[in-house]
Structure 1
């Protein structure tokens, strides 16, 4: 049972990576350098290294605010419209 759960978690992680990978673009701008260390009779001297530089572009999701009209089914209990398109005071029939 534990093995099945581990395999399922790995498959979920792979699915997330497959879906998210087109949304991420990583490029290395500059290579990093290692620190230099020198030992002499006077002691040890060290010069710091430099971390690599990366440029990362992420995808974007655009949400619009376009409004559209959707026709819906009319309810049997909905008020009737008159010739002007206005709803009138229609009294429902007694049960």
Structure 2
């Protein structure tokens, strides 16, 4: 069963000033079925929140970890949760 989920991921590394949020949004839209956002944090990480089918959210998370992302990803920490259903699309914040 492909249940609806929410995943919040914090991406560490050289992920600000390299188009990381833009590419993350493009990947989420390419996967389809996902809503949420990508946000630069003051400590240099990028926070990614994605809601949608578990397989799609896992696909985005796998891409954040292993994909052809801009910059350099040193690590990703994530928390899975119940979706809140408050996002219309996938945005850059």
- Normalising by structure 2, what TM-score? 0.20
- Normalising by structure 1, what TM-score? 0.19
Structure index of larger Rg: 1
Which structure has greater strand proportion?
2
* Larger RCO (alpha carbons 8 Å, 6+ apart): 2
